[in-house]
Amino acid sequence: MFPKFFLFLAIIALLACAPLPPIGPTSDIPTTLPEKTEEEWQVPKTVEQDTVERHVINVGVGIERGLAVIECPEKKWEFKAGANLGRTEIETEGNCKYGEKTYRGNWVVISNDNNLVIINSLPIEEYLRGVVPHEIGRLKQDGFEALKAQAVAARTYAYSHLNSRRSLGFDVFADVRDQVYDGINGEDSLANEAILATNGLVIKYNGNLIEAYYHSTCGGRTESSEIWGQESKPYLTPVSDSANGKAFCELSRYMKWEEKYSRQELVSLFQRNAIDARIDKTFPFSKVEQILITERFPGGRVKRLVVFTDKGSFEAFGDRTRRLFARDGKLLPGSAFSISQDKDSFTITGSGFGHGIGMCQMGARARSTAGQKFDEILRAYYTGVDILKIRD
């Protein structure tokens, strides 16, 4: 069992070397936020509900294949993969620097023959200080209720994901595989106030923590979790996010977007992206003849898309359709789109950024500006929920 654990760590380390996308907005100018993919939001079903009795979260901030240095006020710690095998715990009364960032809390370093797993351990309320401004942006006073809504959603996510990465030795990643956590770097005073004002509040449905999914821009209507092939959840039903004929997220640059592809470009993209898009059958082809959207989800996003080629047809489903069209490392902004074609190209016209499930962050910002309170904002996106203290 022990060797298998470290073999798994070695595999994860190779994946962790990929560069991360940029963090969220840092001004009040409407922009986009880091997108979570289906796998990044998924949690093993072994997460135990009794972990909510724990108020400390262990964050995997790094996996190193060589040397790791943690500089604390009282001591500089150096670790090398292959040396001092096992687990080292570091308790400190100050803030420590790892890499180019500074963090609150204590540390755990797990060393094996190939890797070092660097874990920052701290109270969840302090963890949120390094999450909220990176997930929804630095907002002004009129966005305070949106910051509070984000704090409650992020806190709910944290508690519901304790032990979700148990096999790696921690609870959550510090990047878009879970929630973007940047330590002390980029903390925001107004966001800290929002966290304090909602201290301990989480979102529950029938007494249980919800899966508090959120995304950047819904385009006027959210979607159910069925877009990921999951069973529908009663608190994640498609809802209208508009008032007086206007979407709350209308100021997002992704309220309307367009992508154009040449027919030949799509041949290479579809063949390259087929596995990632989970196309059930692949075959060589040299021409894309037609692309049809044959089904949509209740929220308007693409449910089933059929591609006709000179050698046959294949299908893509749900949020995976975004991966089918990925180029230069970027997915389609969203799956609420339509397709037109001419002799030489296909044009995709869409609305929204992200998977569309749960809270629309740009909508939450507009609702806050319009005077809505954080609990009203949350209930607009999560149907039939209660906002309660974690132990209630």
- Domain residue ranges in the chain: 1-9+56-122, 125-251+357-392, 257-350
> Nearest 10 degrees: CA dihedral of 321, 351, 149, 171?
20
Contacts of 150 (CB under 8 A, 6+ apart): 132, 135, 136, 194, 214, 359, 361, 364
pLDDT digits (tens), the chain, 392 positions = 434 444 443 433 333 333 323 223 322 333 334 455 444 444 444 444 445 578 999 999 999 998 999 999 999 999 988 887 889 999 998 999 999 999 999 999 999 878 999 999 999 999 999 999 999 999 999 999 999 999 999 999 999 999 999 999 999 999 988 999 999 998 999 999 999 999 999 999 999 999 999 999 999 999 998 998 888 899 999 999 999 999 999 999 999 999 999 999 999 999 999 999 999 888 999 999 999 999 999 999 999 999 999 999 999 999 999 999 999 989 999 999 999 999 999 999 999 999 999 999 999 999 999 999 999 999 999 999 999 999 86
What is this structure's pTM?
Answer: 0.84
Strands 208-209 and 201-205: antiparallel
